[in-house]
Chain A
Amino acid sequence: KQEVTQIPAALSVPEGENLVLNCSFTDSAIYNLQWFRQDPGKGLTSLLLIQSSQREQTSGRLNASLDKSSGRSTLYIAASQPGDSATYLCAVMTDKLIFGTGTRLQVFP
């Protein structure tokens, strides 16, 4: 059974720091991996999607890597800002998305 774990569960940092959020999964038979952002009381916003054949994807200050064989992905946030404060979720796609429990990020001025 596929299980997705995210570490850390919560993170509080001053703005300007570079951050690494970790995601691990137990079964490497995935189609892709998707990173989402969730703001309180809101739905999910897709940040990056990495196909299983890819190693990384970049969008602005965000960079996500995927090592399928070891069951790991990292989301790198450069020069963090207070507006980055949210919960970050990773999800692996098998025949459906299986989500991790998220990392709650707070960036303070």
Chain B
Amino acid sequence: GAGVSQSPSNKVTEKGKDVELRCDPISGHTALYWYRQSLGQGLEFLIYFQGNSAPDKSGLPSDRFSAERTGGSVSTLTIQRTQQEDSAVYLCASSLNPPAAYEQYFGPGTRLTVT
């Protein structure tokens, strides 16, 4: 079956612009995660969704970052007023419930470059 998909695969934007990144999880997966991988840094957690609600937003680096999930499926990560330090690969993952018991399957990522 289809895996996790993300779009766009690459995004170049000017500093100060807003961007939206999209994630389509595996069908039937109720848990959805966003992570960020910056150059020279490891993978860091951003936000977790269980269904449409986000019980853990602790990884969002600033109030410029927000995310939503609709219909228990597609999720959108929005970065407002982008800064150069936002340049990174943004990865989305999904898993069955309860997420602690199951593997997380990752999408190919969106490479964001802020110029």
Contact = CB atoms under 8 A, between A and B. Distances in A.
- Are A and B co-members of a single complex? yes
Interface of A: 31-32, 34, 36, 41-46, 49, 51, 89, 91, 93, 95-102
A32 B109 CA distance: 23
The 6 closest A-B pairs by CB, nearest first: A31-B100, A44-B106, A99-B43, A43-B108, A96-B45, A43-B106
Given A96-B56, A101-B42, A46 B100 contact: no
Contact of A96 (B33, B42, B103): B33
A31 B103 contact: no
Contacts, number: 53
A46 B105 contact: yes
A99 B45 CA distance: 9
B26 to A, nearest CB: 12
13 contacts: A34-B103, A36-B106, A43-B91, A43-B109, A44-B91, A45-B106, A46-B106, A49-B102, A96-B48, A96-B56, A97-B35, A97-B93, A99-B35
Contacts of A102: 42
A51 B56 contact: no
B8 interface: no
A34 B105 CA distance: 11
Contacts of A91: 43
Interface of B: 4, 33, 35, 42-45, 48, 56, 59, 91, 93, 99-109, 111
Contact of A100 (B4, B42, B108): B42
Given A34-B104, A46-B105, 8 more contacts: A31-B100, A34-B103, A36-B106, A41-B111, A42-B108, A91-B43, A93-B100, A95-B48
A98 B100 CA distance: 12
Contacts of B48: 95-96
Contacts of A99: 35, 42-44
Contact of B104 (A42, A46, A100): A46
Nearest to A48: B103
